[in-house]
Each structure stands twice: as structure tokens, then as C-alpha cells.
Structure 1
């Protein structure tokens, strides 16, 4: 995001104060050139200074702020609900342009690499899900992708495995995404039929409007749960983490992006309360933005117990220890500290399926 000298961006934020059960409203000013922040509490009376102008926390940047995002400031999870002035609205609303890309089953093993190609061009993941469609649903989807009159061979390909649907947000994404899809086909498509990635019109409504209900692709059988933490999603490392999982031989049978509130984050992490000293901060981090939940399985012929094997790939909880003992592990490469450690993985075998059920069954029905 380019800036002009002395540029100030303004946002309206809301924070739920649980003790009096009130939603507090804030005016948040971001001073782009000095990378600093100032916050005022606004209500029925005069505005009061909540945070004097000070440098942004190390885990935040100017790019962390836009409408729809959550920011964790002084242990308060603030939802950015609106722009505070016309200038900020004009400047940043262009970054909320979005477009949907669909990966066909032939692109499954390259999904992380493809996501990374878009991320490197400033097109970030905004929504993400896996689906498996039958012929009736495909008869609706394929024309949206410009595929008319599919034959039996094509239908066989599209029903042979999971599809990945991802909404990409960024400046001029409605024009840049189709251009990139055309370019990336030459890199990933095996043939005209095995085209790897596709885009078209009406895909946002088809996959993400809630008008259709898709059955989960999770199996809840000999699987474990992995969750890419919000800080890793914000920093653009989710595609590399997904690719590392696949390159290590694991199968991702279900994948979905979630935005958890504090209640859901606490429920999911409840078994870790009293086990990890950083439990309160870990809960806050998990609801500080979007996370990506995965159901992960070991290769069928490997004979590996998936929970332990995936925990080995993740590395030690403590990032410093991971860098020393398992430097190639996911936490060593993408973690920051014991709270911002990139990836949650199920600790105990008996919790593996229940954790998958939480994301891919319970939250689907709530």
C-alpha cells in the first residue's frame, strides 16, 4: 500500500466489553509514514483518548487495517466496521475488490503453489473451501466457468476428487485474476481438459453466498486436525504451509477458512486450558482474524499414525526450540513465538477426530 507524506487513515472499530456487556466504539487513526496509531473512545459524549499516539505493535502493520478485519490491540480484539472519513474509503475500498478461482481435482497437489502465486501478486485469500460436486451441481457450475456441454470424460475428472474454491481480494482483482488464471494455466494445466484453475462469473454467489449447502469433504476417519493461525494467514504464509503439508506426503481431505469469535476459539482450545501457560493469549490470537482449518490424513500405504506424524511436521510448540531441534518444521520456518507459532495441530490421538468434527461438522450447522 503506497502512502503520501503525512497520510492518516481513519477507521471505526468496535470492541465487546464482556463485563458490562457493552459494545465500545473507537475512532482509530493510523499514521502511515510513522507507522503509528492513536485511538479515541467515541460515544454519546465527547471523545476520550484511549491510546495516545504510539508505534504499532510488532505483529501489526498499516496493511493490517481495513474494513472487515480484526486487530488485537492491548489485549482487546477490535473489529474494524467502517471507514472514518471519505479519503480512507476512497483509498482502501479498491483493495476489497474480489474474484473467485476454482481449482479442479487435477490441481489438488499444486493448490498451495497456486495460492502462493496469487499471494505474491498482492491477491490475498479472503474465503476458501473444498467441495466435491455431483453431476447435477456440476451442470450448474461448469457453464459459469465457460465450459459448455461437458462430455463423460470431463465429468469423470471433475467428480474424481475435491475442488478448491477460493475468493481472492486485492486491488483490481476483477481484471487481474482472469489474466493470472490464463497465465498460470500454462504453468499448471496438463491439457485443455485438465486445466487446473478456472474463473468466471457468478462464482461468488455459487460458492459463498450461502444459497447452496455443500456436504463437507472431511471423512472423520483416521485423520487429524491442523489450523493455520490468523497471524500466518495475515503474513501471507498460508499457501507455503499448505504446500509443505502436501509436499510431505500428507493428504488434505478438507480445507476451509473460518473467522472465529472468542467463544468458538475458547471452545476449540478448551482441552489445552491449564496445559499451556499462554492459553488466554492463544485464544485471543485464534479469533484475531481468519484461520484455515484442515483435515489431514497420512498416505494410505505409509502405515503412519497421522496425529503423531503431523505433529512431527509441525514441530515443537516453542518456536525457539523448533528452530534449534527441527529447523525444517513448519513452526520453525513460519512461527514467531509460543503464541504466534503458525500452526495448531492436534496433540493427542483421541482428540484428532473431535477437533476435525468441531470445524467441519459443528460449525457447519451453527
Structure 2
């Protein structure tokens, strides 16, 4: 059992696209441990995307993330990180269109910044990202509970 973080970005929330995410979560047997609507403020975004500080797209990304509400999820399943990232497709939309045409990013992404969604790329990232958006979520305790229920 593994826990990951998923985020539907503002432009996708503004459209009906959010329903597709819920469909994918259910269809792929994820357990939803937490969910909430959140406006990712510049302060939150700067913590969330700190590894990108100094890169040419950083300001555009931080500004975009605060442009409206996002929907955040804490998901659990066997191999949840790899499974969710496969459903999302490659980060770069043009690559997703050609290599994963049925992926969420291929279908709903507009650009590399507005690629519709985010999924943690590792256990460490999932733990860090969840702590930023869900500060009261106890990652280690929840992971222990998930392992006991298997």
C-alpha cells in the first residue's frame, strides 16, 4: 500500500474536467483519504514548487496556481504513485499527446504549466506535498493504518 498526492489545477477545475479525475480515482480503486478545495496562494506555491525556484517558468507557475481553486487529494492504493502518474501521462503536454493519448494531460492539458494536474513523483515528494496542503494529515500514521488494513 502506498500514499500519494494528487492536485487538479485551476484551469481544469474551472471546466467540467474534475469529474474525469473522480472517475479515474474510482475506476482505478484508489482510496481517497483526504480531499479539499484549496486556493494555492503564492506562499503555498513557493513552498510547494521550491525545487523550481530560479527556473524560467517559476513565476508563471506560482502565479497560475493562485489563479483559482484547485482540488487536492490524498490517495492510497498499491503502487499509487506510479499508477496515478501513468493515468496523468507525461508532464509535458505535447509528449503526452503522442505517447499517452488517453491520459488526463493529453486530453485536458493546455501547456506545460497548465497541464491539468499534479501527481507526486516519489514517496518523499508525496509526504512533503501532503504536509503543505494538508498540514494536519499524519502521513506516517495513515500509512501504518493502510498497511494494517491490507
TM-score by length of 1: 0.35
Task: Indicate if the aligned counterparts of 1:246 and 1:252 stay in contact, CA closer than 8 A.
Answer: no
Q: Which has the larger radius of gyration?
A: 1
Deviation at 1:232, TM superposition (A): 0.4
1:268 paired to 2:42: no
Give unpaired runs (5+ residues) of structure 2. Answer: 138-150
CA distance in 2, matches of 1:273, 1:242: 31
Counterpart pick for 2:105 among 331, 334, 343: 331
1:284 paired to 2:58: no
Alignment of 1:224-303 (within 5 A): 224-273=4-53, 277-298=56-77
CA distance in 1, matches of 2:135, 2:110: 31
Deviation at 1:251, TM superposition (A): 2.0
Runs of 4 or more, structure 1, over 6 Å off, are none
Task: Indicate if the aligned counterparts of 1:282 and 1:339 stay in contact, CA closer than 8 A.
Answer: yes
Distance change in 2, residues 1:264/1:362 (3 Å): farther
Alpha-carbon displacement from aligned partner over 1:176-217 (angstroms, at most 9, x marks no partner): xxxxxxxxxxxxxxxxxxxxxxxxxxxxxxxxxxxxxxxxxx
| Larger relative contact order (CA 8 Å, sep ≥ 6) | 2
1:344 paired to 2:101: no
Say which structure is richer in strand.
Answer: 1
Partner SS for 1:223: strand
Task: Indicate if the aligned counterparts of 1:314 and 1:331 stay in contact, CA closer than 8 A.
Answer: yes
CA RMSD of aligned residues (A): 2.0
CA distance in 1, matches of 2:37, 2:10: 10
1:315 paired to 2:93: no
CA distance in 1, matches of 2:86, 2:20: 17
Deviation at 1:222, TM superposition (A): 2.9
Deviation at 1:333, TM superposition (A): 1.1
Say which structure is richer in helix.
Answer: 2
